[in-house]
Copies of this chain bind each other. A is one copy, B any other.
């Protein structure tokens, strides 16, 4: 029995399943590009991880490749998902994921807020708020672009557009909650500190 497919492996299989539905293939480079633009918001990997992972997937029978020779550009390997790869992916998809082991730097800093000067804490939370507002604006722009394409309503459940829309919705809700939390903390600090001194 070959080694277990990892989350990165399944990430690649998801792209190759999308390619298969569109009747195309993808190179390692294509996958690396795809992991930059929209997907990077919920999954991240470098090309140095992707090439070895593709080799592992192929050894496990999940994908195959054909070599395409090119002039003026380096040759490339175009990968496609196998039937077994698709079956394996489907079985993994419907399995509810566990809570991932938490490792959140901002929570850690929040947990040590009492060590900071109130003014420093305020600056930290305001900066976090600003950054998440920016990210929220990015997501809103993507939504507008998506809604434009689909006429403002949800695409059918079996379409890739549906998956994209609900994943985006997670991001939208997430950023809103994050901003809400920052506001809650900022207001708490101001309220509690307003008696003592003058807080900007």
Residues of A within 8 A of B (CB): 7, 10-11, 14, 17, 39-44, 89-90, 93-94, 96-97, 99-116, 118, 120-121, 123-124, 127-128, 131, 135, 154, 156-160, 162-164, 166-167, 169-170, 173-174, 176-178, 180-181, 184-185, 188-189, 191-193
Contact = CB atoms under 8 A, between A and B. Distances in A.
What copy number does this chain have within its complex? 2
Contact of A123 (B94, B102, B180, B193): B94
A157 to B, nearest CB: 5
Contacts of A189: 157
B44 A101 contact: yes
Nearest to A8: B103
Given A101-B44, A135-B99, A173 B163 contact: no
A105 B8 CA distance: 10
Q: Do most interface residues of chain A lie in helix, strand or loop, or is the interface mixed?
A: helix
Contacts of A106: 97
Nearest to A14: B112
B105 A188 contact: no
B166 A173 contact: no
A167 B111 contact: yes
Contacts of A176: 177
Given A39-B111, A93-B116, 5 more contacts: A7-B105, A44-B101, A111-B167, A157-B188, A174-B181
